[in-house]
Chains A and B, each alone.
Chain A
Amino acid sequence: MTTSLLLALMLTAEPPALKEVLTKYDAVMAPATFKATATMTAHRDDGTTRGYKMNILKGADDKSRIWFQEPAAVRGQEMLRNGENFWVYMPNLKRALRLASRDNFQGGDFNNADVLRASYAADYQGTVKEDAAKPETWLLELKSTNPDTSYDSIKLWVLKSPLGIPVRGEYFTSSGKMLRSAEFSDVKDFGNGHKRPSHVVMRNEIATQRFSEMHWDAVDTAAPVGDGKFSLSDLGH
């Protein structure tokens, strides 16, 4: 009886403010600072897969860095994000190249911003509403306010409780065409009070046989993160 009442109250509750939900989402998907390891598996049209292992460091103020560990062909590659700026360090060139945030992340179905950038509260505006098909979630309909974002609009389903944990995302171009869809699952407690989906499947809605999985193996939000790792001159060292 009590459970039913709570559920009913939850389902009929007024939607929270968009800013509150997006701030929660950003805190879940990209805490202020953290150190992590993750594995991405790209599934291609022909059924074959390619796996990538990486170490990720996120600093304050929209700074991120990735070191690729596997496969051997890309070992030594690094990526750096500083605000709207993205670079990739190529060991064969011994230098960094500038990247667009929309560029594909290692040829998979994530793009650079999907992995290195999660600042929806700053980049998007929109509405929060119920979705009768997914009553345990809020549906966020987002429109970009930043020309540098990868997607013009996003439909994002996040859990009502705990608020902000994503369940599904649909990502659109300015013409309304769906480019990608994402399923977020396996919410895991990574310690220090940080819970997030440990498994993300990003589907390519243009080449529908393709999809990529990102599995977060470890996330440490208490790790010390120094500013020195986010300077362009540190790449390759």
Chain B
Amino acid sequence: MHALVLLLLTQTPLVATTGYVDSRTTGAWTQLDGAPGVTELGEANVQVKLTPDEKVKFYADVSLFWQGAWAIQGGDKDLANYRPSIVVSELYADLPLQEHFRVLVGKKRIVWGSGLSFNPTDALNPPKDPTDPTFQRAGAWLAETEWGFEKVALSLVAAGRATRTYAGLPTALVVYPDHPTAEVVRGIATDDRDEEAHFALTGRLYLLLGDLDVNLIYSYTNLYNDAFRAKSRVGLSLSRVFGNLEVHAEGSLYQGSARIAVNGDCVSAPVMCALKGIPVVTRPDLDATWFNSQALVGARYQFDDSSTLAVEYYFNGEGQDFTGYRRLATLSLQNPAVAQQALGGATDPGTPQKFTLNAIRRHYLVIQGSKPQLWDDWTISGSALIGLEDLSVQLVPQVSWMPKEWLQLTLAAYLPIAGLESEGVTLNDKHYGQFTLSPFETRVLFQARAFF
């Protein structure tokens, strides 16, 4: 009888389903053309785990997004970024062939680094929102083999970039299709195809040394999530708990830089430069042999009342010096489309984020705190992303309430602060810091999420 009851209670269900429906309504004060004053983003997410056998599992995490944008500044009312889309965050087959060995094929987000707001060792995934890292679940198309034991694990991953997608669904991986898109044929889009393979090969060795998590990571990428060709990187990630304090560090070391350099003569007249055949932006250090790095150190503390405080410092070796930053910032304000094209690249953005950061400077401090159960299920939390050169700040205070176990309501504000005038740029008598270069000024967001 006991055995029967236990079997019924503990056996792994064949299909396990979860998910949510979510609504994000945002009101914003805009400052650049193409920015909507009001947006609505509706998301229907389903996560399904299918376990037909002990030796095989299938998993899918898929969201349908409906987006609307109103009160748009400027003449262009059809904004590509606000069209409905499908985001396949994860979709894979997991084959635990032996107790300590598995093969995984499909799309999955694999994160080995210990950083919360940034992961300098992550060469695979779409970027996350440093003010709320939980909003990016999208991964990469890959195949992984992994040997995992209690104190050691070895993982090898081969990933291919989705070179063509429609409404978020990929139709080509690694290489571009032979044929151009219909938009290119009609002359309303540029042909961005090349004949190269866009891939990443990466591996990590995990060690539990005493009470310290150690990850040694090697990555080799070719035009994958950045402009580097045949680039090797080595990374290290550490994490340890001291009492109630968790301390972590993560870093990546490689040669050269993919940072863009804006031609100073073209900042005010990029079209003229283009007509003369002078590139507005270049990447002069792509093949440089000097060593570059990205690194993060941080700590997270939980208080007795379950409040948490996390502080992280991020060094971005891809960041601009002051001269480069001023040129890029001025270009962003005067010709945002040109700057965005230069900065944004063609990487998969993954899930639509509440806040997207182009880390264009070198030194950042991220402070995140939360106090749950302030009263009933009210939680207050906040993030501050601080650019340490210009003391520009992106402040995100937030209050959330769970009136039911299945319903979460959140009210948040996104408050950009320009920082030091001497370290910023001034245009038309207005001072800008790196977090006030966005098309938006202050934004207010209301979110309702119902879980099932």
Chain A residue contacts of B110, Cβ below 8 A: 94
Inter-chain contact A100/B241, CB cutoff 8 Å: yes
Inter-chain contact A51/B133, CB cutoff 8 Å: no
Q: How far is the CA of A230 from the CA of B99 in the complex (A)?
A: 11
Inter-chain contact B211/A85, CB cutoff 8 Å: yes
Encode contact with B along A41-56: 1 for CB under 8 Å, 0 otherwise.
0001110101100010
Question: Is B100 interfacial (CB 8 A cutoff)?
Answer: yes
With A44-B373, A98-B239 as known contacts, state yes or no: A73 contacts B100, CB within 8 Å: no
Q: How far is the CA of A206 from the CA of B372 in the complex (A)?
A: 16
Partner of A107, one of B16, B153, B306: B306
Partner of B246, one of A93, A98, A228, A231: A98
Question: Is A14 interfacial (CB 8 A cutoff)?
Answer: no
Q: Determine how close the nearest CB of chain B comes to the CB of A67; give it in whole angstroms.
A: 9
Chain A residue contacts of B241, Cβ below 8 A: 85-86, 98-100
Chain B: interface residue total (CB-CB under 8 A): 61
What size tier do the contact residues of chain A reach? 35 or more
Q: How far is the CA of A223 from the CA of B10 in the complex (A)?
A: 11
Question: Is B355 interfacial (CB 8 A cutoff)?
Answer: no
Inter-chain contact A72/B306, CB cutoff 8 Å: no
Q: Which of B10, B133, B245 has the most CB of A within 10 A?
A: B10
Q: How far is the CA of A76 from the CA of B304 in the complex (A)?
A: 25
Encode contact with B along A211-237: 1 for CB under 8 Å, 0 otherwise.
000000111100100111011111001
Question: Is A126 interfacial (CB 8 A cutoff)?
Answer: no
Inter-chain contact B10/A231, CB cutoff 8 Å: no
Inter-chain contact B9/A73, CB cutoff 8 Å: no
Question: Is B340 interfacial (CB 8 A cutoff)?
Answer: no
Number of A-B residue pairs having CB atoms within 8 Å of each other in the complex: 141
Nearest A residue to B98 via CB reads: A228
Nearest A residue to B100 via CB reads: A228
Encode contact with B along A136-173: 1 for CB under 8 Å, 0 otherwise.
00000000000000000000000000000000000000
Q: How far is the CA of A112 from the CA of B94 in the complex (A)?
A: 29
Q: Restricting to B338-384, which residues have a CB under 8 Å from any CB of A?
A: 372-373, 375-377
Inter-chain contact A51/B148, CB cutoff 8 Å: no
Q: Determine how close the nearest CB of chain A comes to the CB of B13; give it in whole angstroms.
A: 9
Inter-chain contact A35/B10, CB cutoff 8 Å: yes
Chain A residue contacts of B244, Cβ below 8 A: 100, 102-103
Q: How far is the CA of A48 from the CA of B376 in the complex (A)?
A: 8
Chain A residue contacts of B114, Cβ below 8 A: 98
Chain A residue contacts of B6, Cβ below 8 A: 35, 37, 191, 218-220, 223
With A51-B405, A72-B452, A217-B9 as known contacts, state yes or no: A232 contacts B208, CB within 8 Å: yes
Could you list 10 examples of A-B contacts with CB < 8 Å?
A44-B376, A46-B376, A48-B377, A71-B405, A72-B18, A84-B211, A98-B248, A103-B244, A220-B2, A223-B10
